[in-house]
Structure 1
Amino acid sequence: MTTSTNTPVNPPGSAGAPDIVDLPSGSAVAARGVSKSYGRGETAVHALRDVSLDFERGRFTAIMGPSGSGKSTLMHCLAGLDSVDAGRLWIGGTDITDLPDADLTRLRRDHVGFVFQAFNLVPTLTAEQNITLPVALAGGRVDSPWLQQIASTLGLTDRLSHRPHELSGGQQQRVAVARALLTRPDVIFGDEPTGNLDSATGAEVLSLLRRSSREMGQSIIMVTHDPMAASYADRVVLMKDGALVGELQQSTPEAILGALAKLGA
């Protein structure tokens, strides 16, 4: 696990916070000394404890751990959906730790994709309109050749005119993946993206995510509790009690399950 901390890290906004931090040039997302707590005093829950790690560009990473390990909190902080108490975060080389809300919203819109357990499609729009919706809301122009390439890669070419109720669960999640890919984001975050799918359809979506990483160079960070889902990733980061405790490279479901068992998951 990459946990380089050659440059001291100070809490955001603190005196002496460094202007330059030693970040690998190949990082799509990075964290240094990140801590996050909920509540105060004896009832405080320490969701993240001094977490430092890097996510390389073009790699598919899964984050796993027992319930309450901090994996979802870490993803929310990495994506700029939640603030941190200490440490710093980067997306695509941009320090997002202290960005004003408006700037952070623009950065997420232009540089981050999301694929959630719920498909989050607009029922009155076609598949194509759902895919292009973020670009339309931003007043941008759709890259039509790229859209067609994504649709072809994800097997959606003949489904673009269909509305969500005319699509299977797997097809709806493919639309969500296509929507995330359209802006060529620095990173796609997946929060249990196959949680609402049967095993066969889930495997199909996970294969598509892996292809997106390997064939399109897309960086993907996925939180999951499922060892089978995590086995599709290039790398599995393990957490317990808000801290990083290890990682596996291109591992099998059995090896991942064994590692989780040692953590009490």
Structure 2
Amino acid sequence: MTTTTQHTQQTLAVQARGLRKNFGKGDTEVTALKGVDLDFPAGQFTAIMGPSGSGKSTLMHCLAGLDTVTAGTIHLGGTELTALNDKALTQLRRDRIGFVFQAFNLVPTLSAEANITLPVALAGGTVDKEWFQYITTTLGLNGRLKHKPHELSGGQQQRVAVARALLTRPDVIFGDEPTGNLDSRSGAEVLGMLQHSSREMGQSIIMVTHDPVAASYADRVVLMNDGELVGELLEPTADSVLASLAKLGA
């Protein structure tokens, strides 16, 4: 069964309708997404969870324009991602989407400051210095901006990645297990920063995670199983997420 989440009174950051994603052909074909309908309100922090093989990572990759869908439509604001050619999609990802991955994906030869501003530099743009100062101060990076990645802790490196994602004021930030390589203390710091980004800066965040504690920082948890949406939790706690996952056999 596919669950449709309606948020008719709210502006949507991302909207998905009828998403299907097949891998392989013939006898080896696997359907990873089975007609998913889902809304992500602007300014909300949403976590996507489910057992291994549930389709959560595939869903995020499709929503972020990192993978194509077999059928269905995805809208980012008023733009239909699924109608864009490769060049337009690349530009949209650069200008309107931020990414925070499990691997920090920092350039080792660049300072923290240069890593943060790299997307703007590559696009030939101008850094908003006031906004840069605000996000680096909020993320506690002011004393580390001249340091290179190897001189930073894992938590600090991930905060640099979060600052880089925030710098262009994207429509949405996608997080793929963003605390997977961090210890619990550093992970809590990064999750707190993402939560702050949503609640205080109005940033829309969509995060895939397997960790109930990480999911408890979100405003909403979307549950998936076998390529379908099977429910959601509002104002989740680690215990409520864990209990819901246990029902899915995760």
Interval of TM-score (by shorter of Structure 1 and Structure 2): over 0.9
RMSD: 1.3
Q: 2:138 aligns with which of 137, 153, 177?
A: 153
Q: 2:184 aligns with which of 190, 195, 199?
A: 199
Q: Which runs of 5+ in 1 are unaligned?
A: 5-21
Q: Which residue of 2 aligns with 1:18?
A: none
Q: Which residue of 2 aligns with 1:28?
A: 13
Q: Aligned to 1:195, what secondary structure does the other structure show?
A: coil
Q: Aligned to 1:97, what secondary structure does the other structure show?
A: helix
1:234 aligns with 2:240: no
> Which residue identity is paired with 1:261?
A
Kindly provide the CA deviation profile for residues 108-148 of structure 1, in whole angstroms up to 9, marking residues without a partner as x.
00000000000000011110000000000000000000000
1:41 aligns with 2:30: no
In 2, Cα distance between equivalents of 1:208 and 1:166:
21
Contact 2:73–2:80 (CA<8 Å) still a contact in 1? yes
State the aligned residue count: 248
Q: Which residue of 2 aligns with 1:109?
A: 94
Contact 1:29–1:93 (CA<8 Å) still a contact in 2? no
1:62 aligns with 2:85: no
Runs of 4+ in 1 over 3 A off after TM superposition: 1-4, 22-25
In 2, Cα distance between equivalents of 1:163 and 1:209:
22
Q: Which residue of 1 aligns with 2:164?
A: 179
Q: Which residue of 2 aligns with 1:246?
A: 231
> Which residue identity is paired with 1:57?
A
Give the structure-2-normalised TM-score: 0.97
Contact 1:23–1:30 (CA<8 Å) still a contact in 2? no
1:126 aligns with 2:105: no
1:209 aligns with 2:194: yes
1:92 positional shift:
2.0
In 1, Cα distance between equivalents of 2:199 and 2:4:
21
> Which residue identity is paired with 1:103?
A
1:251 positional shift:
1.2
Of stretches 25-34 and 105-114 in structure 1, the one that deviates more from structure 2 is 25-34
In 1, Cα distance between equivalents of 2:239 and 2:202:
27
In 1, Cα distance between equivalents of 2:29 and 2:67:
17
In 1, Cα distance between equivalents of 2:196 and 2:144:
20
Q: Which residue of 2 aligns with 1:10?
A: none
Percentage of pairs with the same residue:
72
Q: Which runs of 5+ in 2 are unaligned?
A: none
1:93 positional shift:
1.7
